[in-house]
Structure 1
Amino acid sequence: MTISIGNDHAGTDYKNAIVKHLEIQGYTVINHGTDSHDSVDYADFVHPVADDVENGKSTYGILICGSANGVAITANKHQGIRAGLCWNKEIVELIRGHNNANILCIPARFTAIIQAVEMVDVFLKTEFEGGRHLRRINKIPLSC
């Protein structure tokens, strides 16, 4: 499975830990994030991740910035993307199980690195429940 990951300067350490963790587990990771702590614009790293997921180059995406609001808003502008902002494992289970999210957005300033790694594991292992949740997702327009 291929995972695309992107981050701004606030998420560099998180990204590095997540990439290492995923590669040890045998995932292929496409790194679209900055490797620096110098200030950058998060949108420059979101669009390539969302494009990869949207076009099937990656199964899922992971985005990291300070609050994760900016990356989530930007990713959700792409058709077919359901990006969810999460700060604990329970919310991760809900965005995957109920919303069939395909991009996980992590707020680096509000989580610890170990929490972020655990959330990634939950994200990748949680199956979409379908049923009434599919009916609800089908009511989300691809564009307005």
Structure 2
Amino acid sequence: MKHILIAGDHAAIDLKAAIVTQLKADGFTIEDFGPFTTESVDYPDFANKVCEKIKPDDTSNEPDTFGILVCGSGQGMAMRANKFKHIRAALLHSDEIAKLAKEHNNANVICMGSRFTTAEQANKWIKLFMEAKFSEGRHTLRVAKISENPSYC
């Protein structure tokens, strides 16, 4: 059974709550890092909480743990999450992207924007993501290159 880590920001309280409710109803183990009120917070702090809990040494194709990050647009969470070497965060915006995030990129964190995503869409995309399998093959080397450590700054 998958262990799902979730966090958001003040703009995504309702969407996060709807996601948590559905995942619990489906029998998943959820670790919710907040926030739990609409008081303004800094989304990078909450992205950090999820990304730090995902084990860097979990290189399996089907890790037991993955993260869900939600904020107003989803962009800020995705940008912050992808600063972690071992994280492959995908910003979801369609059914196809939800599947490809796993099939081609072996994402271990998915991000969504509460201003652009309904609870129904979010829950559908999460299900599609969890049902998808990493296709390996030509994508294995490409995904490995994501975690290489070049310095471009």
TM-score tier, shorter chain, comes to: over 0.9
**Which amino acid counterpart does residue 137 of structure 1 have in structure 2?**
V
Instruction: Give the C-alpha shift of residue 54 in structure 1.
Output: 3.0
Aligned to 1:96: 102
Q: For residues 65 and 122 of structure 1, what CA distance do their matches in structure 2 show?
A: 20
Aligned to 1:12: 13
Tell me the TM-score normalised to structure 1 length.
0.94
Which consecutive segments of 4 or more residues in structure 1 shift more than 6 A?
Answer: none
Say how many residue pairs are matched: 144
Instruction: Give the C-alpha shift of residue 116 in structure 1.
Output: 0.8
Q: For residues 52 and 61 of structure 1, what CA distance do their matches in structure 2 show?
A: 9
Q: Would the aligned equivalents of 1:3 and 1:60 in 2 still touch at CA under 8 Å?
A: yes
Question: Which whole-Å deviations, capped at 9, do the CAs of 1:105-140 have from their partners, x for residues lacking one?
Answer: 001111111101111111111111100111211222
Q: For residues 97 and 109 of structure 2, what CA distance do their matches in structure 1 show?
A: 13
- Answer yes or no: is 1:132 the counterpart of 2:138: yes
Instruction: Give the C-alpha shift of residue 142 in structure 1.
Output: 3.9
Q: Gaps (5+ residues) in structure 2?
A: none
Aligned to 1:59: 65
Q: For residues 146 and 100 of structure 2, what CA distance do their matches in structure 1 show?
A: 17
Q: For residues 141 and 127 of structure 1, what CA distance do their matches in structure 2 show?
A: 20
Aligned to 1:114: 120
Instruction: Determine what percentage of the aligned residue pairs are the same residue.
Output: 41
Q: Gaps (5+ residues) in structure 1?
A: none
Aligned to 1:30: 31
Q: Would the aligned equivalents of 1:54 and 1:78 in 2 still touch at CA under 8 Å?
A: no
Q: Would the aligned equivalents of 1:65 and 1:107 in 2 still touch at CA under 8 Å?
A: yes
Quick check: 97-106 or 113-122, which moved more? 113-122
Q: For residues 126 and 12 of structure 2, what CA distance do their matches in structure 1 show?
A: 14
- SS of equivalent residue, structure 1 residue 54: coil
